[in-house]
Amino acid sequence: MVNTTNDPLPLMFDVLPGREVISQGEPYPDAWVVRSGALLMEVVGLEGHRLALDLLGPGDLVGGPASWMADASVRALVTSGLFAAGPIALRDGLARRARRVAWLACSVAWDRIADRLMTRLDDLGARFGRPVPGGWCFELPLTQEHLAGLTGATRESVNRALTELVATGRVE
């Protein structure tokens, strides 16, 4: 969502599925906090390959300081509501984003793919799902390619890990 006029962006607005709000390589248009929904943060490589980095949900920061360039694109997976981030929300959101990136880096270095995937699915369940007996249920349009990016793995490895998790009863 690029503001091509000099009109100020609204303080609160909804984003429809598939709509990009941050474009990789462009200056951040603003900073918002997710009120509702889910947005996918992804990097697009020089050859057009997409790598999902994170899924942003309620309370997460979208964007950043206007003087910074966006290192990833952000688009809505489902209808999502955003509101303007104040200075404290911006500071806390950037710190939370850094912690999540550090978690992924440590997880990629030390954990088996099936364990990384299970941890990420638990995280997504807690943030976007509802509790059900034995775990979480969430309905998001995520592909194995998205899960691969979110766990630092390949789609094929995620497929094998999902097969293992289903066989051991950890995922249904």
Can you spell out the DSSP letters for 87-145? HHHHHHHHHHHHHHHHHHHHHHHHS-HHHHHHHHHHHHHHHH-EEETTEEE------HH
Summarised one tens digit per residue, pLDDT across range 28-77 is 999 999 999 999 999 988 887 778 889 999 999 999 998 899 999 999 99
| pTM of the complete model | 0.85
| Range picked from 71-85, 91-105, 125-139 for highest mean pLDDT | 71-85
Confidence band of 109 (pLDDT split at 50, 70, 90): confident
Reply yes or no on whether the pLDDT at 2 is more than 70. no
Dist. CA 62–CA 84, nearest whole Å: 10
3-class DSSP state for residue 12? strand
Lowest mean pLDDT across 5-14, 111-120, 135-144: 5-14
Which phi and psi angles does 74 have, rounded to 5°? -135, 125
Reply yes or no on whether the pLDDT at 167 is more than 50. yes
Structure tokens at 103: 């978690």
